[in-house]
Amino acid sequence: MVVGVFELRTPEDRAVPQGVIPAMAAALEQCLPVRVAGLKPLEIPQGAYDARRAQWSAPAVLESVLASLPEGIPKALAVTGVDLFIPMLSFVYGQAQLKGRAGVVSVARLRQEFYGLPGNEALLLERARKEAVHEAGHLLGLVHCSSPGCVMRLSVQVGQIDLKGEAPCPSCAARLREVSA
Ligand SMILES: [Zn+2]
Ligand SMILES: [Zn+2]
């Protein structure tokens, strides 16, 4: 299975830090039965911006990712520096269609600077790898898992991302073999 990975560029000064996308691509190939194709960056759709919340709508972003998937790319993961939300929640680290074609990961809340702390590139890359594998896991049909350490465990705080690993647990890995067989 090929998964396209690309940056969703923003007009604001919220670029995805260098090194994040290559780290995500490496994690995806190490942890999941996928091959990564690097795709050209796209501009984030302005219509996805919610001025009242000063955040971007993850469902609206996904729609535009879906509309722009090149031929031959069955699934794709967009990576953005802006903060994302879905209507039910104050924010999301990412969102993906279950067993679908499009997902998105935001690095906004993966950066220590977001919490008023000094930057930590190694920690940012570690978090970015886990969130990329998590959202791509959804694309491949994995649901949330309660096993401690499993990458498919739901994280609602950044500390929970730090507690889990970047690979699927044995039972999620078995499920992946079933769904990709
Ligand atoms: Zn999830
Ligand atoms: Zn699991």
Taking only the tens place, the pLDDT of each residue in 2-13 is 999 999 998 766
* pLDDT attached to residue 120: 97
For residue 146, give the ligand nearest its CA. 2
Q: Tell how far the Cα of 95 is from the centroid of ligand 1, in angstroms.
A: 7
For residue 151, give the ligand nearest its CA. 2
What fold, for 2-144?
Answer: Collagenase (Catalytic Domain) (3.40.390)
CA distance 8 to 39: 10
84-121 pLDDT, tens per residue? 999 889 999 999 999 999 999 999 999 999 999 999 99
- Residue for token pair 């930590």: 120
Percent of the chain's residues with pLDDT above 90: 89
Q: Write the CB contacts of 116 (distance below 8 Å, at least 6 apart in sequence).
A: none
Residue with more model confidence, 177 or 105:
105
CA distance 93 to 106: 5
- In the chain, where the domains are located: 2-144
Annotated catalytic residue 135: yes
12-48 pLDDT, tens per residue? 667 899 899 999 999 999 999 999 999 999 999 999 9
* pLDDT attached to residue 15: 86
3-state percent breakdown (helix, strand, coil) of the chain, nearest 5:
35, 20, 40
Partnered with residue 78 across adjacent β-strands are: 6, 104
